[in-house]
């Protein structure tokens, strides 16, 4: 039963998600612009050769100080890959470090390493002592080079071989043609910036650019690509500075079930309005700079009014923002999408929908159970057990919901499940029809309760008492009998 009106928690206002957006980093990944800048390398052994080559490739003017440089260092100085390498046959002095962009040393012992690091820091120069992390302000990671597209990989010195293995994996899957596309982006950026396009149009240009690069990575981008991208901007750009709204399905919880289109929408959003049912891992796909606001609605708990959500969404879009309305499951299945679409259209705001994996689809996949086995089900039906007043809807067709040849999915069933089952029994449903209640579908904390339908409400209450939590979905129908043994094993494992 629904709680008395005087016990219902008052509505809550939309609120911005603050903090917790970035987990702790062992290292801050940064990329130094070294073209034309002086970098000092102290030491001429094999470990210093690779560092000097990297620095030269980045355009630095490398000064190598070594009393007895190895043959490879002398050969490198004679044939530098980028910026010049000056080799002086002498020991370094603190004066050499003044004004340098970086200082790198191949030190033989701890005392020499400490001396070099102290001198570099005194000169205000970031320092790296090869293979001695205690004396390093920065580290060289494994590199995937598709310059100007460059990827750096760090394990914070814990497992360099592991980092190299990851680099090799990325090298194998990252098309070499991305180098040409990245160069085109660098060449075109100034021209795009000179047009003084609004954020929406700039974002649309680069999203289109990325889509073309991913679709044809080995093709040489040319002026026809650039012209086509600008033409597409004109067709996509909202009129009068108005923003847009995208309703995005976040799926049932597992972030790996997000569609590629959903990820692209999140990465282009300026504001994300999200529900309580959206997992934090899904929010991580949004741009770091995007404002994230919780506008959740929970059964019998603190909830934002739908009218407030509609108003906020419209207001943000009228300000010219690109708004993503992120909903659990699929927005078009019991996601109040119709009300939000109507509000956007009434305000003249462009609105689109990105579908998501629905909770029933996620449950069926997780439990490896067909919802429409042709020997048992000719129909799949979806119904909500939660009306506007929090009670069982009065207009449900219980005869249809008792159809033995259907698989039925019940959304928001927790408070009205016992009443729903009683009405189904009155309508003649088979009391032994297989039924499931699934909490937090597809998430690590998922709990599955399996029982004949007439016993399900009692089993659900026991599961809740044992700690089951999160959104609940009920499924019943003879199609579920095909995997009953496996489901019982899953239930005992998850609920116990």
Q: Catalytic amino acids?
A: 275, 297
CA distances from 208 to 216, 228, 231, 262, 492 (A): 12, 9, 11, 15, 49
What residues have CB less than 8 Å from 440, skipping those under 6 apart? 253, 446, 447, 469, 470, 471
Cβ atoms of 420 and 476 closer than 8 Å: no
Rounded-to-integer distance, Cα 140 and Cα 138, Å: 7
CA distances from 109 to 73, 120, 145 (A): 21, 17, 32
CA distances from 152 to 29, 157, 168, 202 (A): 8, 13, 12, 27
Dihedral pair phi/psi, residue 29, rounded to 5°: -75, 115
Q: Residue 354 forms beta bridges with which residues?
A: 248
Dihedral pair phi/psi, residue 125, rounded to 5°: -115, 125
CA distances from 171 to 175, 183, 213 (A): 8, 18, 17
Which tokens go with 437?
A: 């209640």
Cβ atoms of 375 and 485 closer than 8 Å: no
For tokens 């770091």, the residue is: 288
Dihedral pair phi/psi, residue 25, rounded to 5°: -110, 130
Cβ atoms of 442 and 327 closer than 8 Å: no
The enclosing H or E element of 112 equals: helix 110-122
Cβ atoms of 150 and 174 closer than 8 Å: no
């Amino acid at each position: 039963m629904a709680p008395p009106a005087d016990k219902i928690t008052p509505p809550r206002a939309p609120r911005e998600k603050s903090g917790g957006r970035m987990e702790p980093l062992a290292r801050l990944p940064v990329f130094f612009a070294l073209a034309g800048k002086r970098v000092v390398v102290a030491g001429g052994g094999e470990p210093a050769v690779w560092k000097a080559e990297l620095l030269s490739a980045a355009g630095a003017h490398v000064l190598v100080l070594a009393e007895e440089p190895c043959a490879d260092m002398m050969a490198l100085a004679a044939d530098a890959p980028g910026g010049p390498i000056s080799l002086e046959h002498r020991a370094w002095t603190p004066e050499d470090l003044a004004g340098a962009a970086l200082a790198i040393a191949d030190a033989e012992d701890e005392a020499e390493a400490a001396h070099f690091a102290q001198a570099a820091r005194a000169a205000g120069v970031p320092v790296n002592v090869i293979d001695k992390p205690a004396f390093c302000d920065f580290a060289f990671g494994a590199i995937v080079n598709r310059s100007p597209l460059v990827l750096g990989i760090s394990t914070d010195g814990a497992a360099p071989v592991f980092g190299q293995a990851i680099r090799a994996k990325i090298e194998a899957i990252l098309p070499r043609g991305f180098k040409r596309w990245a160069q085109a982006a660098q060449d075109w950026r100034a021209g795009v910036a000179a047009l003084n396009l609004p954020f929406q149009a700039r974002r649309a240009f680069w999203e289109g650019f990325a889509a073309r690069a991913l679709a044809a990575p080995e093709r040489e981008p040319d002026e026809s690509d650039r012209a086509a991208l600008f033409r597409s901007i004109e067709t996509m750009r909202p009129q009068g500075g108005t923003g847009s709204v995208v309703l995005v399905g976040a799926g049932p919880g597992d972030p790996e079930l997000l569609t590629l289109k959903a990820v692209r929408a999140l990465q282009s959003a300026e504001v994300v309005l999200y529900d309580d049912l959206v997992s934090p891992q899904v929010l991580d796909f949004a741009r770091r700079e995007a404002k994230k606001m919780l506008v959740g609605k929970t059964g019998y708990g603190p909830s934002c009014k739908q009218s407030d959500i509609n108003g906020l969404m419209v207001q943000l879009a009228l300000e010219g923002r690109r708004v993503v309305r992120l909903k659990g499951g699929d927005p078009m299945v019991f996601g109040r999408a119709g009300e939000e679409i109507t509000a956007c259209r009434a305000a003249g705001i462009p609105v689109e929908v990105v579908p998501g994996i629905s909770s029933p689809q996620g449950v069926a996949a997780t439990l490896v159970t067909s919802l429409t086995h042709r020997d048992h089900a000719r129909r799949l039906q979806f119904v909500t057990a939660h009306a506007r007043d929090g009670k069982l809807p009065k207009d449900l067709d219980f005869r249809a919901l008792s159809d033995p040849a259907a698989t039925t999915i019940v959304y928001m069933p927790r408070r009205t499940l016992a009443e729903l089952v009683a009405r189904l029994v009155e309508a003649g449903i088979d009391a032994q029809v297989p039924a499931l209640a699934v909490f937090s579908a597809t998430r690590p904390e998922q709990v599955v309760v399996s029982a004949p339908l007439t016993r399900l409400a009692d089993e659900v209450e026991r599961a809740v008492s044992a700690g089951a939590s999160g959104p609940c979905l009920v499924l019943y129908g003879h199609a579920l009998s095909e995997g009953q043994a496996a489901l019982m094993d899953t239930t005992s494992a998850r609920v116990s």
